[in-house]
Amino acid sequence: MIVIRAERPGDRAVIADLVERAYAAVPYSDHREHLMIERLRGTGAYIPALSLLAEIGGEAGGHILLTKAQIRSDLSAVTTLALAPLSVVPEFQMQGVGKRLVSAAHERAAALGFGSVLLVGIPSYYPQFGYERLSRYPIELPFNAPDENCMILPLRPGALDGVAGRVQYADGWIDH
């Protein structure tokens, strides 16, 4: 049975280990995802209720983090959420853990009043949740990434109406 719950203060080491194991064999990873999570915990972008841990039979098997970001233009700034990273340890991959984490994160984010979630991720995975290419909107990232990997999901109808600008991530999101 998969139990999804918010991260607790005592979970930091477990999450760091889980994330490292999840990305250990991923060729496109810089293997620093666990460090990004730690940096983000110290910012105003971190929302404890949106750092979710998946437990399978009492064992930590997956984690997802959504943090606040802004879509800024000269005229406005709209808060969005950035999904990164989504981590599932190898022994629990392909068992629906990632799907449960993503769905739970979306539900909690919508309940907290957030309107959208954006990510840079695997183009064959995230569209099943309703993600669309970011390029369909007048929104740009502060770095170059392949178009097919840049996606956004409105969490409610009309959430992206009139939203335009450049994404500004929290200071800890990008490793400087």
- 68's tokens: 């606040």
- The residue ranges of DSSP E strands in 91-149, in sequence order, are 116-120, 132-133, 139-140
To which residue do tokens 């989504």 refer?
86
pLDDT, position 35: 86
Which pTM does this prediction carry?
0.95
State which fold the 2-168 domain adopts: Aminopeptidase (3.40.630)
Residues 6 or more apart in contact with residue 136 via CB below 8 angstroms: none
DSSP 25: T
**φ, ψ (nearest 5 deg) of residue 98:** -60, -45
Residues 6 or more apart in contact with residue 131 via CB below 8 angstroms: 119, 151, 152, 153
- The ranges assigned to domains in the chain are 2-168
Taking only Cα atoms into account, the Rg of the chain, rounded to an integer number of angstroms, comes to 15
Residues 6 or more apart in contact with residue 101 via CB below 8 angstroms: 4, 52, 54, 62, 63, 64, 86, 88
pLDDT, position 176: 44
Mean pLDDT by 10 residues, the chain (176 residues): 95 96 84 88 95 96 98 96 97 97 99 98 97 98 97 98 97 70
Do 93 and 26 form a contact (C-beta atoms < 8 A)? no
Rounded Cα distance, 52 and 15, in Å: 10
* Alpha-carbon torsion angle 56, 101, 112, 73, nearest 10: 150
